[in-house]
Chain A
Amino acid sequence: MTTTQEISLQTEPFVLNMGPLHPSTHGVYRMRVTLDGEVVLDIEPMFGYLHRGIEKLMEERTYTGCIPLTDRLDYASAMGNNLAYCVAVEKLAKIRVPERGEYIRVITAEMIRIANHCLAVGSMLNDAGALGTPFFYLWNEREKLYDLFEMLCGQRVLHNYIRIGGVSQDLPDEFLPALEKFVPQLHKFINEFEFFLKQNEILIARAQGVGVLPKDVALNCGISGPLARASGIKRDLRKDDPYSVYDRFEFDIPTAENGDCYDRYRVRMEEMKQSLHIIDQAIKKVPGGPFRAKVPQIIRPPAGEAYGHIEGPKGELGFYLVSDNSIAPYRCHIRSTSFINLTALRQMVKGWKIADLIVIFGSIDITMGEVDR
């Protein structure tokens, strides 16, 4: 027997549109969230608001002319995109990169990893409620890196620095001394930052145990990068399939067990330390010689296909290129990390409150430019 009171206490699912212009969706991402009160029952992702057709645009540009387009994929880590694309073209055209070029690539790729993790951790904490303070501490460090990028290639965000067969220009004289100053300073900062937030009760309450991504789900979704490593999958292309001169450096792959938001934050902080370790080794070993192989401005790779992938800051970033022996790629497909990592969001948020949805979404670390391409 049901009384009128019990009938009135029944709840109904309610659909809420989040985005596309929501401050915590990191771009123009829209989700249709089905809610029961405050509990998320289901989400339906909707994207494409930032679609610029980069894969199609690449088909009508020369191989070198595509490099500025790759900057605009993941604008928080432009150098990584340049590297991934150039690795794919070098595989296709069978170009060997000189030693000095490889070392400069490793240094810049690790620098952009630190810059990206600064942004990722900062915006996740911002979403968790630490409005401003930790974000701007990290932003300050990122700014120092961006100064160095500006010295190297002339622009701060859209680097367009790595070229097919090497890098575009040699290191300036004042670059390595400045980087040598930066490495111990960032070590100091990371220790201070860990002290600042490691035991913070609010962060632990908001992030520990929230949005758990089990190992099997992560494997089934094809998750890579810090997100997978936080779930206990020890996979890093720098070790598993060394693409540049990464096999010459010593570094660890930080992993965690639980796969919650707090572990993702911890893994990213540890990765920044490992990146610094790699930079430290690379600075000491940078050889002389040419920084770029002799590659013509307009190349015509032999007909065929190649897939080049790197361990980008967000995970595995791959470019699949098909050549028909003309000056432009016949087809280019981008295995964008953010897009594939975003597919796990649905499994992670089910059953959590809408405030946790924001933290979980922030902990994945996506850039909409890469999701929509």
Chain B
Amino acid sequence: MQFKFFGIGMLKGLAVTILHIFRRPSTSQYPEQRLNISRRSRGNELIWDREKCTGCATCAKACPQGVIEIVTSTDMADNKYKVETYRVDTGYCIMCGLCVEACPYDALYLGYSFEKAKYRRGEFVQTNDELKESPQRPASGYFHPDIAKKLPKQTLLIEKATEKRK
């Protein structure tokens, strides 16, 4: 390889890296500084609304992993199924959101929060009332545009990057 002036290209490269010193960092210090995640975030847990659920088991059919287990009672009071057990093994859940998409009664939601590490494998299996919505388990706006409107706006790196050039 023959170069006329060896090092010109490298000096050009170094000029770019030096310019980068004066730019604002695009990283953030995670545990202290938190960015807003997407409104449609497919977060860590599944939220099940007992009132809306009719026990049709469409979610269980749509689930590609087969982690939703639903048991309905056989005696039908006023022509409705009574859901006995609704069990989800969230350890096997891949957060694809197909169950939420399939539910015709809007009884299922994906979670908005993350950071849900657990100590025991058995704690991932959640049944009935453990799947309720609560302040610790907020619902995400995935396939629920009305909930998405209420959630905070997502922080975007592109907005941060174009803002500083002004």
Contact = CB atoms under 8 A, between A and B. Distances in A.
Interface string A86-123: 00000000000000000000000000000000000000
Interface stretch (A26-34, A192-200, A310-318): A192-200
B41 interface: yes
A216 B54 CA distance: 63
Nearest to A205: B1
Interface residues of A, number: 45
Q: Which residue of B13, B16, B26 has the most chain A CB atoms within 10 A of its CB atom?
A: B13
B154 A150 contact: yes
B13 A68 contact: no
Interface residues of B, number: 44
Nearest to B104: A297
Contacts of A202: 10
11 contacts: A62-B62, A65-B62, A154-B110, A160-B97, A169-B142, A181-B159, A185-B162, A196-B13, A199-B8, A200-B12, A204-B3
Interface in B32-69: 37-42, 58, 61-64
Contacts of A204: 1, 3, 9
A258 interface: no
A64 interface: yes
A155 B44 CA distance: 11
A178 B26 CA distance: 17
A154 B38 CA distance: 6
Interface of B: 1, 3, 6-10, 12-13, 16-17, 20, 26, 37-42, 58, 61-64, 94-98, 101-102, 110, 140, 142-143, 148, 153-154, 156-159, 161-162
A131 interface: no
Interface of A: 61-62, 64-69, 133, 137, 140, 143-144, 147-148, 150-155, 158, 160, 168-169, 172, 174, 178, 181-182, 185, 192, 195-202, 204-205, 208, 297-298
Contacts of B110: 154
A157 to B, nearest CB: 11
Given A154-B40, A199-B9, A174 B26 contact: no
Contacts of A65: 62-64, 98
